[in-house]
Structure 1
């Protein structure tokens, strides 16, 4: 075992900033309003499985389909762009059918919001620098925090209030658009 508190702390902070679950609270609240509820454990579990699987098999999976990391990042950017437009313009692009309510905990919450292209790309990058066990612990610590935030989304919504939620939703919609544009700029080669 190559566990290092310093490396675990570094990995945890890097992933925390990329996952940005705090910044995603308005999106989580919006998804909960549309679906009626969010299955916090299911979303966290699926995101965790995706991150761990990508840690071990990410490059191989993308190579199997002939997809480069840039294309993967752009696809995730498109989903983020659409979610941002939804938040800013007050339109509904991701319509959820009653029978698909439990799926909203997976798409777009677990993927691409929590375990999206940025997270997956970061995980591949971390693998080149840090020991595998330190990355796994960092992922697990982030998943624990994600679960707590998802579980407390109703409480957070009550504290923020409808007016505050509307303002925060628009601000974070613009941030999502900016993240999507950054993904495009970084990975589109002219």
Structure 2
């Protein structure tokens, strides 16, 4: 039971920090500022659903991709650790997502922003996809797989709630509060990145330099 709880906590913490719905809020509000409340709610709901389906699909098909391309999980952990670390550095410096929506182009794709760029790659980015594949590989039991999928649903539901309440949350936290929250999340992501990197690097080095007993 403790093992499942620990795995679920790891999954929740890593997904929530990597998806970073609080960091997505200002960009979401910018892209939906001309929408009414119902349209904004529909956009947040559709983006969360599309991102959730994408993450779950990658979680189950990740191993097939590994086998097809001849990629090892350990190598993916190393690369994932690098990706997480770079994302954590950006978050630690309170920089938002690298995607910047120009005001004169918002209206041209406003009916489709729930899929791109909101769902992919802002909510469901490379960090979240990497995390899903690696954690599914680590979930060796049916119970852990169920915990992982349940955690993904919970995080995406929270993401929807945060985006839905974005106007109130941003006003409540203020610019300083948003920056502090993003820095804290960035620090957590960097810690997860170190764990992922060395957990993948260790078996690779052991294969290259086998210890003779």
The one-character-per-residue Cα deviations of 1:103-125 (angstroms, maximum 9, x if unpaired) are: 33211421235x33223322333
| Partner Cα distance (2:95, 2:189) in 1 | 15
Gaps (5+ residues) in structure 2?
33-39, 206-213
How far residue 30 of structure 1 moved from its aligned partner, in angstroms, is 5.3
Structure 1 residues 84, 29: closer, same or farther in 2, change over 3 A?
farther
> 2:88 aligns to what SS in structure 1?
helix
Partner of 1:17, secondary structure, is helix
Task: Specify the SS of the correspondent of 1:76.
Answer: helix
In the other structure, the counterpart of 2:199 is 186
Aligned position for 1:29: 25
Give 1:48 deviation, angstroms: 2.0
76-85 or 125-134, larger mean C-alpha shift: 125-134
C-alpha separation in 2, matches of 1:129 and 1:178? 27
Give how far 1:70 is off: 2.6
Alpha-carbon distance between aligned partners in 2 of 1:164 and 1:80, rounded to the nearest angstrom: 23
Offset, 1:188: 1.6
2:93 equivalent to 1:89? yes
Instruction: Report which of the two structures shows the higher radius of gyration computed on alpha carbons.
Output: 2
Report how many aligned residue pairs link the two structures. 181
SS in structure 2 at match of 1:94: coil
CA drift of 1:95 comes to 4.3
Q: Which residue of 1 aligns with 2:13?
A: 17
Are residues 120 and 156 of structure 1, via their aligned partners in 2, closer, same or farther at CA, if it must alter by over 3 Å?
A: farther
What's 2:136 paired with?
Answer: 123
Secondary structure of the 2:132 match is: helix
Consecutive unaligned residues in structure 1, runs of 5 or more = 1-5
Output the CA distance in 2 between the equivalents of 1:174 and 1:136.
25
Tell me what 2:44 maps to.
40
Deviation at 1:82, TM superposition (A): 2.4
CA contact (8 A) 1:62 1:68 kept: yes
Provide TM-score, normalisation by structure 2: 0.63
**Cα distance change, pair 176–137 in 1 and its aligned pair in 2 (3 A):** closer
What is residue 36 of structure 2 aligned with on the other side? none
Going from structure 1 to structure 2, the CA distance change for 1:59 and 1:168 (only over 3 Å counts) comes to: same
